[in-house]
Amino acid sequence: MLDVRPLTADDLDAARGLSTQAGWNQIAADWKRFLRLSPTGCFAGVVDDEVVATTAVITYGTDVSWIGMVLVDERHRGQGYGSRIFERGLEYAERKGGSVIGLDATHLGEPIYRNYGFEPVEPVSRWQGTLRRAERPAEDRAGPERIERISAEDVDPVRGFDRERVGVDRSVLLRELLEEPDVYGYVARESTAITGYAVVRPGRTDRQIGPVVAGRAETVDSLLRAVGADFDGEDVIVDAPDRTVVSDSLERVGLTRDRELVRMTYPRPESALSTDAVYALLDFAFG
């Protein structure tokens, strides 16, 4: 019998074991971030005092709740535990309110989530590969934008840029993320105005690039060149909306599409956390 209760700090090693078993890229820092940002929205499914299932719900103000990290130990699958733990997360998201609840589903999971009223919005893809340093085209080498590492003084302006371009207040998440060890941020500026930013963080098997938010594709190319200069030859993952302009930028730095999911929202289809300015997601679990 599955007992569902709040996830605690004492459960984090077990939770990370489940994401590792599933082949996902999360490390301890990711699980700690879930718990810091949503201490009442993370849940553990327990059998005989063992954590065998998880889910985590992240809320962005009153705008969006995002459901992720729905995991079940492979020894306990086929008993309805995944549905049970997901339903607890959905109940929490509905209580928190907000205009939309979202998730990224595999194609196998899509019909299951349809049964709960979720509707497909758009495909999203995971890109993987060994990052290569893309050269700036000769005709563009004197371009107006400059790329710099995000400093402590840049964090609030970047948060404001993100809120304006994404239409959702993710400022708490971005502050937490950019203050974590081994997380690198890059900001693009034209004169004194921010035109885009990118974040790179460590993962279990690959570095994860995202979010990447920018006003135009040329800015994304400049940001990815800066990332490539620092991490040339490293294996990376990018979770991104499935759009031609995004695909072109990622292919130029040596990445290939690994798999496709579908973004779904409830109670109506809405392009949550994925405006035209979003070129890469933080990851599927955070939206």
Convert the pLDDT of each residue in 109-140 to its tens digit. 999 999 999 999 999 999 999 998 766 654 45
The pLDDT, as a whole number, for residue 143 is 59
Could you tell me if 221 and 249 are in contact, meaning their C-beta atoms sit under 8 angstroms apart? yes
140-192 residue pLDDT tens = 544 578 999 999 999 999 999 999 999 999 999 999 999 999 999 999 999 99
Diameter over CA atoms, the chain: 65
* Burial of 74 per CB tally in 10 Å (0-12, 13-18, 19+): exposed
54-94 residue pLDDT tens = 999 999 988 899 999 999 999 999 999 999 999 999 999 99
Residue 162 and residue 122: Cα distance in Å, rounded? 21
Give buried/exposed letters for 209-232 (b at 16+ CB in 10 A, else e).
bbbbbbbbbbbbbbbbbbbbeebe
Q: Is the pLDDT of residue 271 over 50?
A: yes
Which among 63, 8, 55 is positioned nearest to 35, based on CA atoms?
Answer: 8
- Residue whose tokens read 């074991």: 17
Q: What is the mean pLDDT of residues 238-253?
A: 95
Q: What is the CA radius of gyration of the chain?
A: 19
- Residue whose tokens read 């077990």: 14
The pLDDT, as a whole number, for residue 141 is 47
Q: Is the pLDDT of residue 49 over 90?
A: yes
Give buried/exposed letters for 144-173 (b at 16+ CB in 10 A, else e).
ebebeebeeebbebbbebbbebbbbbbbeb
Q: Is the pLDDT of residue 17 over 50?
A: yes
In this structure, the number of other CB atoms found within 10 A of the CB of residue 141 comes to 8
Q: What mean pLDDT value characterizes the chain?
A: 94
Give the domains, in start order, of the chain with CATH numbers: 3-98 (3.40.630.30), 126-280 (3.40.630.30)
